[in-house]
Structure 1
Amino acid sequence: MSKFKNKKKGDLPAISTASLPDIVFMLLFFFMVATVMRDNTLMVKNELPNADQVEKLSKDRTTFIYAGKPSEGFKSKYGELPRIQINDAFVGIESVQLAVTEARNALREELQDKFVVALKVDKETNAGLVSDIKQELRKINALKLMYVTTVRNPNE
């Protein structure tokens, strides 16, 4: 009689799951790096004016206010008049103070005094709307203001 028994022929060996956690974490890391978070859905036409002297600022202490006519997908609902967009919603001129104050208060305390409001205004927008926005910002002492433009080609 033999001490060793023959294995049954035809049985498949069990699948090793030892490397499964490595594969899962590698996929998780890939998707974390490759995924881009959406900022805002632009609801207004936003063709920026040109400038020859521009400076890039960090976005961590900036809130953006968009102004312009509603884009093609929103004209039927909101009409043709220029509108103000903060985050993903149209707001009236009376809501600018509240939205900017909320954005400032959401920042860390050491960044609140360095808070900047960026205006992305369509180049065909009436200057009166920009003036109204600036008046509302003055009321809440949001005086650090920048205008977002595109870089002008020096050959033009």
Structure 2
Amino acid sequence: MSKFKKKKEGGVPAVNTAALPDIVFMLLFFFMVATVMRQNTLKIENNLPFADQVEKLDKKDLVMYIYAGKPSDNYKQYGTQARIQLNDDFANVSDIASFIAAERASKREELVPFLTTALKVDGETNMGIVGDIKQELRKVNALKINYTTKKGSVTNQ
């Protein structure tokens, strides 16, 4: 009987996993950089009207969005009349003042004068709700208003 045994030949060598953590972190970094986070989930129909003279906003982080339109198919339990959506929830016209105050409080004090309110209103929405929104914005002194539209000819809808 010998003290040393000979290795049995054959068998598959083990897979080298030394580079695996590098590859995983590279993929993680790529997806962190390339992913865009959605800001709001729309609960309303939002077919924007067309306009032929359109300008792009420079700083989108200084924009507060107010959506208006009929509830989408998933939210028909809220009715068929045009509704206002602030962030991810339906709201009343009276809730706009608190929404503007909260948005102003979340920004630095020197940026507050540059805040713009963007109205994303469905093309089929009556102007009465838009007038009510504008009245509330006047009450809280949010006078910089932007109407968001699609670029195109007004006559070719």
- The TM tier, using the shorter chain, reads 0.7 to 0.9
Query: Structure 2: any 5+ residue segments left out of the alignment?
Result: none
Q: Could you tell me which amino acid in structure 2 is paired with residue 83 of structure 1?
A: R
Aligned to 1:60: 61
What TM-score, normalized by structure 2, do the two folds share? Answer: 0.84
Structure 1 window deviating more from structure 2 (9-18 vs 80-89): it is 9-18
Aligned to 2:126: 126
1:1-156 counterparts in 2 under 5 A?
A: 9-10=9-10, 15-57=15-57, 58-75=59-76, 77-153=77-153, 156=156
Structure 1 window deviating more from structure 2 (59-68 vs 13-22): it is 13-22
Report the CA distance between 1:126 and its aligned residue: 1.5
Report the Cα distance in structure 2 between the residues aligned to 1:144 and 1:127, rounded to whole angstroms.
Answer: 19
Q: Could you tell me which amino acid in structure 1 is paired with residue 74 of structure 2?
A: G
Report the CA distance between 1:24 and its aligned residue: 2.0
Report the Cα distance in structure 2 between the residues aligned to 1:121 and 1:109, rounded to whole angstroms.
Answer: 29
Report the CA distance between 1:123 and its aligned residue: 1.6
Moved over 6 A (4+): none
Report the CA distance between 1:154 and its aligned residue: 8.3
Report the Cα distance in structure 2 between the residues aligned to 1:108 and 1:22, rounded to whole angstroms.
Answer: 39
Query: Structure 1: any 5+ residue segments left out of the alignment?
Result: none
Report the CA distance between 1:61 and its aligned residue: 0.3
Residues 4-26 of structure 1, C-alpha deviations (whole Å, 9 max, x = no match): x9766447656544323311211
Query: Secondary structure of 1:113's partner?
Result: helix
Report the Cα distance in structure 2 between the residues aligned to 1:40 and 1:93, rounded to whole angstroms.
Answer: 19
Report the Cα distance in structure 2 between the residues aligned to 1:129 and 1:138, rounded to whole angstroms.
Answer: 14
Report the CA distance between 1:108 and its aligned residue: 2.6
